[in-house]
């Protein structure tokens, strides 16, 4: 049986005296016996484990109370088996016999008491013994009287105290039975307290959801390993964080994502070797002590195995989830031991570097990463203040028709005006906002401000801006908001924005999280009268069957494809196929990130309808965009073939540039 942790500082005797005052006694002469019993409480409290507690309780029952023959039964840690300890056998000899009392779950018809006089053993089965003894009972046995006194905690019965007068054949002493009840109450209190202490100890050392060591235990093991200089081989600490965790936690119930985390922990455990340790540090962050590793190359290979194992789909409550993660690796020092906390911080700094490069990445630590992590923490703090103070402004990048060169609309792009860093580009702070949940208020401000600015242009410029569209990106978190429709409807009403001039861009990842749900959300948004665009097309895992079923109006070719035009024949084939596909599906297509005449010429040969990028114009401040509109869009310094046909179109992503 597992040892129980000692009570912190012991239980004061006055606690038991106070407990005793609440009980009623029939005889005044019990006072001395009660004092003697309570004086033995410290002996029970000091028991190092449950076996010792049971033996000492039996000794007290015999020596302090004067019971003839005593047996005590208590539940084990599982709560399904009771263990018994005898004080004396039938002949009155002291014995230390221990045995199973009963196994919970036996049929009630088997519940009975048997006394094997030859071996001095009672076999007690499931509930009948406890039910019969709820209020304490006594009954005749062949050689005297038997008393059953329940041991009850706040959780219910947890044991029984048996005593009989089989040796003397005398009736039970009522006063002694009342003292036995007090003893049972003391035992129950001690067992319950030790149980709670053990639970608290385990919770401080192990994660309740995954069973993994806690951060405190991980740090302890890491510190011990760092001091074992005589051990051969090196070791590495890895910090692992699940990608897009906030999307999962906000999409599913706590019960679901706890089950999901449990499976993630199992996957990680499968990758561990005998000397390795894995720990859950926080909600979606884990640490791994890889010991031993030969060098950094082996540590990186280990990290790759972790990522590959997690990348396989997980089945959670009937749903298939893909868990990608990022890993930071920090090797031990070959010169001197690293303090455990510092070593873990190094791994976290490397993790921040890995996450900055995208999803499912790994990175190794170098000293410059600590400064990078510190800057990231400061930037996140400043971003919270920026949201509260509204330290943002919008820029607008023109989108033009490729066949006419005429302005068709703008893509709304956010900028952060930092008090010391100046203008901060979205690539620096949008990933932070997505991780910490600020993307929702930022995204809603972008949508509202874009619609407001459109109203300013329409009022000041009249017909010259009447057909100019604005394209605004919706983050995954915004897209998953249950009241998204109502939020957009309120913004349209408040700003007076004509829905036909607003184009919402949704990323492939948002759509493919749950295509059927996405279809419903998109259809509802479409009913407002606005247009819908699939952003960064080609970078995700869109299924063509879903593409034909979703109510989309526009496909946007990601800049990663555009930049390879003229250099890679396969990329050109893909872009040409997307342009053909969009026409066949009745959609329009926009190529973003166009920067060279060579790229422009290739897109023109594919009959791509719209382009945006620095070859057309950089993102413009609101007044600069207004001047462009006031000039009729003729300020675009770009050579394009002119035709008589003119079509309206949209701009792009507020948050993605």
287 falls in which pLDDT band (50, 70, 90)?
very high
Q: Rounded mean pLDDT of 328-356?
A: 85
pLDDT exceeds cutoff 70 at 55: yes
380: Cβ contacts below 8 Å, ≥ 6 apart: 432, 436
Answer whether residue 18 shows pLDDT above 80.
no
Residues 460 and 313 in one domain: no
pLDDT digit string, tens, across residues 227-248 = 886 666 789 999 999 887 777 7
My answer on whether 71 and 27 are in the same domain is: yes
Instruction: Tell me the C-alpha distance between 296 and 333, whole Å.
Output: 11
- Please write the tens of the pLDDT for every residue from 614-627: 888 899 999 999 98
Would you say 329 and 303 are in contact if contact means Cβ atoms under 8 Å apart? yes
Residue 256 · residue 317 · CB < 8 Å: yes
Position 95 confidence tier, pLDDT thresholds 50, 70, 90? low
Q: What pLDDT, on a 0 to 100 scale, did the predictor assign at position 111?
A: 30
Mean pLDDT for all residues in the chain: 76
Instruction: Please tell me the predicted confidence (pLDDT) of residue 126.
Output: 29
Residue 400 placed within a domain: yes
Residues 196 and 235 in one domain: no
What band does 115 get if pLDDT is binned at 50, 70 and 90? very low
The 10 Å Cβ neighbour count of residue 65 is 22
Whether 635 is in a domain gets the answer no
pLDDT of residue 607: 92
* Whether residue 362 is found in the same domain as residue 384: no
**Residue 150, domain extent:** 13-203
Picking from 217, 207, 205, 161, the residue whose alpha carbon sits closest to that of residue 186 is 161
Q: Which residue has the higher pLDDT, 193 or 17?
A: 193
For residue 292, the domain's CATH number is 3.30.70.270
pLDDT at residue number 78? 59
Higher pLDDT, 20 or 600: 600
Nearest to 299 by CA among 261, 271, 340: 271
Sole residue written with tokens 């990522």: 307
pLDDT band for 406, please (50, 70, 90 cuts): confident
* Residue 251: pLDDT over 80: no
Q: For residue range 417-474, list pLDDT tens digits in order.
A: 998 888 888 888 888 888 778 899 999 999 999 999 999 998 888 766 678 899 999 9
Query: Looking at the structure, do residues 53 and 135 belong to the same domain, yes or no?
Result: yes
For residue 21, give the CATH number of its domain.
3.30.450.40
476 found inside a domain: yes
Given a cut of 50, is residue 142 above it in pLDDT?
no
- For the cut 60, the answer to whether the pLDDT of residue 217 exceeds it is yes
Burial class of 27 by CB neighbour count within 10 A (0 to 12, 13 to 18, 19+): exposed
Same domain, 76 and 169: yes
Do 196 and 88 lie in one domain? The reply is yes
Q: Are residues 154 and 30 in the same domain?
A: yes
**Residue 413: pLDDT band by 50, 70, 90 thresholds?**
very high
User: pLDDT tens, 297-310?
Assistant: 999 999 999 999 98
The predicted structure's pLDDT at residue 146: 67
Percent of the chain residues topping a pLDDT of 70: 76
> What would the mean pLDDT of 93-106 be, rounded to a whole number?
44
Q: Is the pLDDT of residue 58 over 70?
A: yes
Domain boundary among 305, 338, 366: 366
Contact 589, 579 (CB under 8 A): yes
Q: Is residue 89 part of a domain?
A: yes
Q: Which pLDDT value is given to residue 239?
A: 93
Which pLDDT does position 411 carry in this prediction? 95
Surface-to-core class of residue 148, CB atoms within 10 Å of its CB (0-12 exposed, 13-18 middle, 19+ buried)? buried
* Residue 160 in domain: yes
296, part of any domain:
yes
pLDDT on residue 181: 86
Taking Cα atoms as reference points, which of 206, 202, 222 lies closest to residue 214? 206
Same domain? For 521 and 608 the reply is yes
Residues 278 and 404 reside in one and the same domain: no
Highest mean pLDDT among 307-316, 427-436, 506-515: 307-316
- Mean pLDDT highest for which of 61-65, 216-220, 617-621? 617-621
Confidence of residue 359 (pLDDT cuts 50, 70, 90): confident
Whether residues 28 and 175 fall in one domain: yes
Maximum CA extent, the chain = 119
Band (pLDDT 50/70/90 cuts) for residue 113 is very low
Residue 328: inside a domain, yes or no? yes
What is the percentage of the chain residues whose pLDDT exceeds 90? 23
Query: What's the rounded mean pLDDT across residues 515-532?
Result: 90
Domain count, the chain: 3
pLDDT at 637: 53
* Per-residue pLDDT, 233: 75
Same domain, 406 and 358: no
**Average pLDDT, integer, range 469-495:** 91
Q: Tens of pLDDT along 22-49? A: 444 444 456 667 777 777 777 788 888 8
Average pLDDT for residues 386-408, to the nearest whole number?
90
pLDDT of residue 485: 92
The pLDDT of residue 61 is: 86
Instruction: Estimate the crossing angle of helix 254-270 against helix 296-311, to 10 degrees.
Output: 140
At 467-480, the pLDDT tens digits run 889 999 998 888 88
Q: pLDDT tens across 290-299, in order? A: 998 888 899 9
In a domain? residue 1? no
pLDDT for 22: 43
């Amino acid at each position: 049986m597992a040892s129980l942790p000692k009570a912190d500082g012991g239980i004061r005797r006055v606690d038991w005296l106070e407990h005793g005052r609440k009980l009623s006694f029939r005889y005044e002469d019990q006072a001395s016996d009660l004092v003697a019993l309570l004086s033995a409480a410290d002996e029970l409290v000091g028991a190092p484990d449950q076996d010792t507690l049971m033996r000492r309780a039996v000794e007290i029952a015999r020596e302090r109370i004067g019971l003839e023959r005593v047996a005590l039964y208590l539940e084990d840690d599982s709560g399904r088996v009771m263990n018994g300890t005898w004080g004396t056998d039938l002949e009155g000899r002291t014995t230390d016999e221990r045995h199973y009392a009963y196994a919970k779950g036996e049929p009630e018809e088997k519940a009975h008491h048997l006394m094997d006089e030859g071996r001095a053993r009672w076999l007690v089965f499931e509930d009948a013994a406890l039910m019969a003894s709820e209020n304490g009972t006594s009954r005749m046995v062949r050689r005297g009287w038997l008393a059953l006194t329940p041991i009850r905690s706040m959780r219910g019965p947890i044991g029984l105290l048996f005593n009989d007068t089989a040796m003397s054949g005398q009736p039970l002493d009522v006063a002694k039975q009342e003292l036995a009840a007090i003893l049972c109450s003391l035992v129950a209190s001690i067992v319950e307290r030790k149980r709670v202490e053990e639970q608290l100890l385990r919770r401080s050392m192990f994660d309740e959801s995954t069973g993994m060591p806690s951060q405190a235990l991980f740090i302890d093991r890491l510190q011990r390993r760092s001091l074992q200089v005589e051990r051969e081989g090196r070791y590495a600490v890895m910090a692992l964080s699940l990608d897009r965790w906030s999307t999962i936690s906000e999409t599913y119930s706590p019960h679901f994502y706890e089950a999901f985390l449990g499976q993630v922990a199992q996957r990680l455990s499968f990758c561990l070797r005998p000397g390795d340790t894995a720990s859950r540090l926080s909600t979606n962050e884990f640490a791994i002590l890889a010991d031993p590793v030969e060098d950094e190359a082996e540590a990186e290979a280990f990290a790759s195995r972790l990522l590959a194992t997690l990348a396989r789909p997980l089945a959670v409550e009937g749903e298939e989830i893909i868990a990608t993660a990022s890993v930071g690796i920090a090797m031990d020092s070959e010169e001197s031991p690293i303090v455990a906390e510092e070593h873990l911080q190094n791994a976290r700094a490397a993790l921040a570097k890995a996450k900055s490069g995208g999803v499912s990445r790994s990175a190794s630590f170098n000293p410059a990463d600590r400064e990078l992590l510190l800057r990231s923490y400061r930037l996140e703090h400043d971003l919270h203040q920026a949201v509260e103070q509204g330290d943002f402004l919008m820029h607008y990048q023109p989108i033009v028709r490729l066949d006419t060169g005429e302005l068709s609309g703008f893509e709304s792009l956010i900028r952060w005006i930092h008090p010391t860093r100046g203008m901060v580009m979205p690539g620096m702070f949008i990933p932070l906002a997505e991780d910490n949940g600020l993307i929702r208020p930022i995204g809603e401000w972008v949508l509202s401000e874009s619609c407001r600015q459109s109203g300013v242009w329409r009022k000041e410029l009249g017909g010259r801006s009447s057909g100019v569209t604005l394209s605004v990106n919706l983050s995954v978190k915004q897209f998953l908001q249950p009241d998204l429709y109502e939020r957009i409807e309120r913004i349209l009403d408040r700003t007076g924005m004509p829905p036909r001039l607003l184009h919402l861009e949704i990323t492939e990842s948002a759509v493919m999280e749950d295509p059927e749900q996405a279809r419903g959300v998109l259809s509802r948004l479409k009913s407002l009268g606005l247009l819908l665009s699939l952003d960064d097309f080609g970078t995700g895992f869109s299924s063509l069957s879903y593409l034909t079923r979703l109510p989309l109006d526009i496909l946007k070719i990601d800049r990663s494809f555009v930049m390879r035009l003229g250099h890679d024949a396969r990329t050109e084939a893909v872009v040409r196929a997307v342009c053909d596909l969009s026409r066949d599906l009745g959609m329009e297509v926009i190529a973003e990130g166009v920067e060279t005449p060579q790229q422009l010429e290739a897109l023109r040969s594919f009959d791509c309808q719209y382009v945006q990028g620095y070859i057309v114009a950089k993102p413009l401040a609101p007044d600069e965009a207004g001047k462009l509109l006031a000039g009729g869009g003729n300020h675009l310094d770009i050579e394009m073939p002119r035709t008589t046909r003119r079509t309206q179109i949209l701009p792009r992503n507020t948050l993605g540039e």
